[in-house]
RNA sequence: GGACAAGUAGCUCAGUUGGUUAGAGCGCCUCAUUUACACUGAGGAGGUCACAGGUUCGAGUCCUGUCUUGUCCACCA
């Protein structure tokens, strides 16, 4: 053995060995208890970043349970990531001087498909490099035909059950990307925007959005506002930049009498709140801004201007006409922007598909309250409840090509929507018309990934769903608790009548060395491959769980990675001492005879039964047993940092520094204990550091083919 | 406006149900000088546990309040 551990010589060979023997499949323990984790499918539009290496937690659990004899399944997959991917791809096109509008739908789809296939392949290689024991024979992709079929089936069921409806509602619209978003995809920025106090006949009201005034269909005050009682219900004459007009004054309790003058203009077509007021008072929805972000023909001479241009032009003209009373130039507000490009989101009225969330959310709250699903850390329950209690209906239509096209056809004969499980209807079932037009929109990517736990298991192989669903844990970043986890709970219960998983386990974010979030725009994204090349995959894995309480954010730390790499070297040299430097007479003892009993507890039992047991041996065996106990408990309670710390401490400072030193003058006698303790340490460490533990375990006297399929050590009583 | 987390050694962080002199890694200082391992070993310096009250025989840990930082949710025209 070399003096220094060289991970590049060791790590590359074992993954193939394990995979070749079929160890990643749950079938190696056909009679074991099912233990299932579905890999949160990474987006297939870019290589992995270092945060993805947090999947190691799932590998630890899977390897641990596999060693416990469970039928452990870790199911891999990847996500087409609809809009996200289209944005990434459009940037690629931009570099070549092209845009998505240069291609027809089919060509564009095919180009993105090829792009994604490439990335997918690279990503799979990276997951292997990190040692993740995923069952590749069950790998799924969100655009697999059988997955799409299930997504369609769910949509049809929801449509038939009245949970899906076509609604003309206000949606969050990005005029640059030309698509709508759900509420979660809108970011808010603090801005200072001029607040104009404008004259509406006898009233004065405050607004930042002058350009929407053409869409005003009422003026509203609070019903109890004594200042304006005499106007409520009246129609007032107003002067506007387009000439005289009439407008109705209504009373609605949504108006805050403290804001501005206590009077607001109501523009149902261009504000969520105004839309709701409009619904209550049957106001006309007059759209004056188009999907291109420009004012339309209803705005007279302002038509064709962008929102920004129009606002300036209107302000200028109103000042000239003395229609503005005053301007608060320092007004602070918050403006919704596209989370990808920063363009201001326009609330626009649009026909889209919506999911009624009230009942689904209620069920999703119930299962947590009853304890059928547990959330770790528990604090997140509150956040989870808060979101679900205030949830609004979910817009699932996206005006892009990359995704699963919605299986809905509009009949021009009877003006009805027809929804199928994917097949094209030959004619309208209501009126027999053949004038059917398919909705060009695709699903929000979270609508399909929300069905991932059951969609995957229903399409891998017969019996999988029955055996592995509900899955055991869903382990993921806490940043997608709403986007994904809550949706999976809602959709899973709805579609299968069962919870999708028993435990929700949330890990913290991996930040850059300065504690900032990693992002492409900041150019601080670290590749897990670079880290694995530099320190070894084993060290990278251990560094992610060591030293930071599980669930908390952590910064990428090179000193920590170095410390973990040093630890692998320590293990290597312990191995070298025990294997290479074993005295000849100890070799003749053939310790495996004493220690190779298949049951781990009898292995322990054998050693202390010796009447002349050395107190050092007794002591180390006792401490080893304690370590087994603590480590097992820590993993079971998702306290991975505790487990890692316990093992590091015991192996380095108890076993190496103290015990090994103490055996140097009675080496032959101690050899069986050295081998036994070290082999057990490697077994305990294996879920954390699979490569080096396999390498060293193979060099020690052992039973069985691989450390991966040996049984988890048991503590003595 | 609301919620959550954090504030412990120079730095990065542990410290589960309150219990003897508060721990680790890195850094720093002294020693060991090739030992299975220098990606090493032995030893050491360094902390009023954010602040102020309270409960208790006993508080880093529990309660109340304050300050600071980070994250999330809501969104006001």
Question: What are the structure tokens assigned to A538, written together?
Answer: 């084993």
User: Closest residue to B69 by CA to C1' distance?
Assistant: A515
Question: If you average pLDDT over residues A685-694, what whole number do you get?
Answer: 97
Question: Is it the case that residue A599 has pLDDT exceeding 50?
Answer: no
Residue A522 has pLDDT above 90, yes or no: no
Q: Is the pLDDT of residue A19 over 60?
A: yes
Q: Which CATH number fits domain A179-347: 2.60.40.10, 3.30.499.10, 3.90.740.10, 3.40.50.620?
A: 3.90.740.10
Round and report the angstrom distance from CA (A375) to C1' (B63).
26
Give the H/E segment covering residue A531: helix A528-535
Token duo for residue A495: 């579609």
Chain B positions with an atom below 7 A of a protein C-beta are 3-6, 12-15, 24-26, 36-42, 70-77
**Cα–Cα distance for residue pair A212/A283, rounded to 1 Å:** 15
A55, A39 in Cβ contact below 8 A? yes
Decide if A706 contacts A654 (C-beta within 8 A). Answer: no
SS3 sequence of A626-681? HHHHHHHHHHHCCCHHHHHHHHHHHHHHHHHHHHHHHCCCCHHHHHHHHHHHHHHH
Q: Assess whether pLDDT exceeds 70 at residue A262.
A: yes
Q: What residue spans define the domains of chain A?
A: 28-155+445-545, 159-168+351-442, 179-347, 555-709
Distance in angstroms: CA A270, C1' B75: 16
Q: What is the mean pLDDT of residues A289-293?
A: 93
Mean pLDDT of A69-87: 95
Count the neighbouring beta carbons within 10 Å of the beta carbon of residue A716: 16
Using the CA of A637, give the nucleotide whose C1' is nearest.
B16
**Residue recorded with tokens 């296939």:** A117
CA quadruple A63, A64, A69, A74: dihedral, nearest 10: -40
Distance A633 CA to B27 C1' (A): 33
Nucleotide nearest A382, from its CA to each C1':
B3
Check residue A467 and give its pLDDT.
97
Task: Tell me the nt nearest to A566, Cα to C1'.
Answer: B39
Chain segment A420-461, per-residue pLDDT in tens: 999 999 999 999 999 999 999 999 999 999 999 999 999 999
Dump pLDDT digits (tens) for A297-333: 999 899 999 999 999 999 999 999 899 999 988 888 8
* pLDDT at residue A675 greater than cutoff 50: yes
CB A188, CB A181: distance < 8 Å: no
Instruction: Select from A211, A223, A232 the least CA-distant residue to A255.
Output: A223
Question: 3-class DSSP state for residue A159?
Answer: helix
Same fold, A28-155+445-545 and A179-347: no
Answer yes or no: is pLDDT of A604 > 50: no
Q: Which CATH superfamily is domain A28-155+445-545 in?
A: HUPs (3.40.50.620)
The Cα angle at residue A106 between residues A100 and A111, in degrees rounded to 5 = 60
Q: A479-498: b or e for each residue (b if 16 or more CB lie within 10 Å)? A: ebbbbbbbbbbbbbbbbbee
Quick check: A573 pLDDT over 60?
yes
- Residue A602, pLDDT > 90, answer no
Q: How confident is the model at residue A706 (pLDDT cuts 50, 70, 90)?
A: very high
Query: Widest CA span of chain A, in angstroms?
Result: 109
Cα A408 from Cα A428, distance rounded (Å): 12
> At residue A80, does pLDDT exceed 80?
yes
pLDDT for A665 equals: 87
Q: Can you tell me whether residue A344 is helix, strand or coil?
A: strand
Among A103-112, A463-472, A497-506, A612-621, the minimum mean pLDDT is found in: A612-621
pLDDT digit string (tens) for A344-396?
999 999 999 999 999 999 999 999 999 999 999 888 998 999 999 999 999 99
pLDDT above 70 as % of chain A: 96
What percent of chain A has pLDDT above 90? Answer: 76
- DSSP track, A463-482: THHHHH-SEEEEEEEGGGII
Asked whether residue A633 carries a pLDDT value surpassing 60, the answer given is: yes
Buried b or exposed e, range A298-335, using 16+ CB within 10 angstroms? ebeebeebebeebbebbbebbeeeebbeeeeeeeeeee
Assess contact for A315 and A309: CB atoms under 8 A: no
Gap from A220 CA to B24 C1', in Å?
63
Q: Quote the mean pLDDT of chain A.
A: 91
**Measured distance CA(A46)–CA(A523) in Å, rounded:** 14
Rounded mean pLDDT, A65-90: 95
pLDDT at position A585 is 65
Kindly report the CATH number that applies to the domain delimited by A555-709. Answer: 1.10.730.10
- Can you say whether residue A506 is alpha, beta or left, with left for phi > 0 and alpha for psi between -120 and 50 degrees? beta
CA distances in angstroms from A220 to A226, A267, A397, listed in the order given: 13, 10, 32
Q: How confident is the model at residue A613 (pLDDT cuts 50, 70, 90)?
A: confident
Which among A330, A451, A340, A343 is positioned nearest to A396, based on CA atoms?
A451
> Is residue A595 over pLDDT 50?
no
ipTM for the complex? 0.93
Quote the strand ranges of A544-600, DSSP E: 554-555
Cα–Cα separations (whole angstroms), residue A240 to A9, A216, A470, A671: 79, 11, 62, 96
The tokens of A381 are what?
């329950």
Helix (H) or strand (E) holding A16: helix A7-20
Nearest to A414 by CA among A398, A431, A397, A401: A431
3-state secondary structure (DSSP) of residue A228: helix
The whole-number pLDDT of residue A190 equals 84
Asked if A228 and A203 count as a contact pair (C-beta separation under 8 A), the reply is: yes
Q: CA–C1' span, A638 to B52, in Å? A: 36
C1' of B14 to CA of A69 (Å): 31
Three state DSSP letters for A293-326:
CEECHHHHHHCCCEHHHHHHHHHHHHHHCCCEEE
Q: Which residue has the higher pLDDT, A423 or A253?
A: A423
Which pLDDT does position A340 carry in this prediction? Answer: 86
């Amino acid at each position: 053995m070399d003096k220094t551990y060289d991970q590049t010589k060791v790590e590359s060979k074992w993954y193939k060995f394990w995979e070749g023997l079929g160890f990643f499949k749950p079938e190696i323990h056909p009679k074991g208890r099912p233990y299932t984790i579905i890999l949160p499918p990474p987006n297939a539009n870019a290589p992995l970043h270092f945060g993805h290496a947090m999947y190691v937690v799932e590998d630890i659990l899977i390897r641990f349970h596999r060693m416990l004899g469970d039928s452990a399944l870790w199911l891999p997959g990847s996500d087409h990531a609809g809009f996200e991917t289209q944005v990434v791809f459009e940037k690629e096109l931009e570099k070549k001087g092209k845009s998505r509008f240069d291609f027809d739908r089919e060509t564009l789809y095919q180009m993105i498909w090829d792009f994604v296939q490439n990335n997918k392949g690279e990503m799979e290689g990276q997951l292997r490099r990190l040692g993740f024991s995923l069952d590749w024979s069950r790998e799924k992709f969100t655009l697999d035909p059988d997955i799409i079929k299930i997504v369609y089936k769910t949509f049809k069921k929801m449509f038939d059950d009245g949970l899906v409806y076509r609604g003309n509602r206000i949606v969050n619209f990005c005029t640059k990307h030309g698509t709508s978003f759900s509420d979660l995809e809108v970011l808010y920025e603090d801005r200072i925007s001029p607040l104009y106090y404008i004259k509406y006949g006898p009233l004065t009201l405050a607004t930042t959005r002058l350009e929407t005034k053409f869409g005003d269909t009422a003026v509203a005050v609070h019903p109890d506002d004594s200042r304006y009682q005499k106007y409520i219900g009246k129609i007032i004459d107003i002067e506007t930049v387009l000439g005289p007009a009439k407008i109705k004054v209504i009373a609605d309790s949504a108006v805050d009498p403290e804001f501005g003058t206590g009077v607001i203009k109501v523009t149902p077509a261009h504000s969520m709140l105004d839309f709701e007021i409009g619904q209550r008072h049957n106001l006309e929805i007059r759209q004056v801004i188009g999907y291109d972000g420009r004012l339309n023909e209803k705005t007279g001479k302002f038509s064709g201007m962008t929102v920004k241009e129009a606002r300036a032009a209107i302000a200028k003209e109103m000042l000239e006409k003395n229609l503005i009373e005053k301007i608060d130039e320092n007004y602070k507000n918050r403006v919704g922007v596209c989370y990808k490009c920063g363009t201001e989101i326009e609330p626009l009225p649009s026909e889209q598909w919506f999911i009624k969330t009230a009942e689904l959310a209620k069920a999703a709250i119930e299962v947590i309250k009853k304890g059928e699903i547990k959330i770790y850390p528990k604090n997140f329950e509150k956040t989870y409840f808060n979101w679900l209690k205030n949830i609004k209906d979910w817009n699932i239509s996206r005006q892009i090509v990359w995704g699963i096209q919605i299986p809905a056809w509009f009949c021009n004969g009877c003006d009805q929507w027809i929804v199928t499980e994917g097949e094209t209807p030959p004619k309208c079932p209501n009126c027999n018309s053949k004038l059917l037009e398919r909705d060009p929109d695709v699903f929000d990517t979270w609508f399909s990934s929300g069905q991932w736990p059951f969609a995957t298991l229903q399409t891998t192989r017969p019996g999988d769903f029955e055996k592995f669903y509900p899955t055991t844990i869903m382990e993921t970043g806490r940043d997608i608790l709403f986007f994904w986890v809550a949706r999976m709970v809602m959709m899973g219960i709805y579609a299968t009548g069962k919870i999708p998983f028993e435990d929700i386990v949330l890990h913290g974010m991996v930040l850059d060395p300065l504690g900032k979030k990693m992002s492409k725009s900041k150019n601080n994204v670290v590749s897990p491959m670079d880290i694995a090349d530099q320190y070894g995959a084993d060290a990278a894995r251990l560094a992610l769980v060591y030293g930071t309480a599980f669930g908390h954010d952590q910064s990428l730390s090179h000193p920590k990675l170095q410390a973990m790499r040093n630890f692998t070297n320590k293990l290597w040299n312990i191995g070298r001492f025990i294997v290479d430097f074993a005295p000849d007479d100890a070799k003749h003892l053939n310790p495996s005879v004493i220690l190779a009993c298949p049951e781990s507890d009898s292995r322990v039992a054998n050693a202390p039964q010796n009447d002349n047991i050395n107190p050092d041996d007794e002591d180390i065996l006792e401490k080893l047993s304690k370590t087994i106990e603590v480590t097992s408990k820590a993993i079971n309670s998702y306290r991975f940092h505790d487990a890692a710390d316990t093992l590091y401490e015991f192996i380095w400072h108890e076993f190496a520094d103290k015990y090994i030193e103490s055996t140097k003058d009675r080496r032959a006698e101690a050899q069986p204990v050295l081998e036994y303790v070290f082999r057990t340490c490697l077994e305990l460490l294996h879920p954390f550091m699979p490569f080096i533990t396999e390498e060293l375990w193979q060099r020690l006297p052992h039973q069985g083919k691989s450390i991966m399929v040996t049984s988890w050590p048991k503590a003595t009583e």
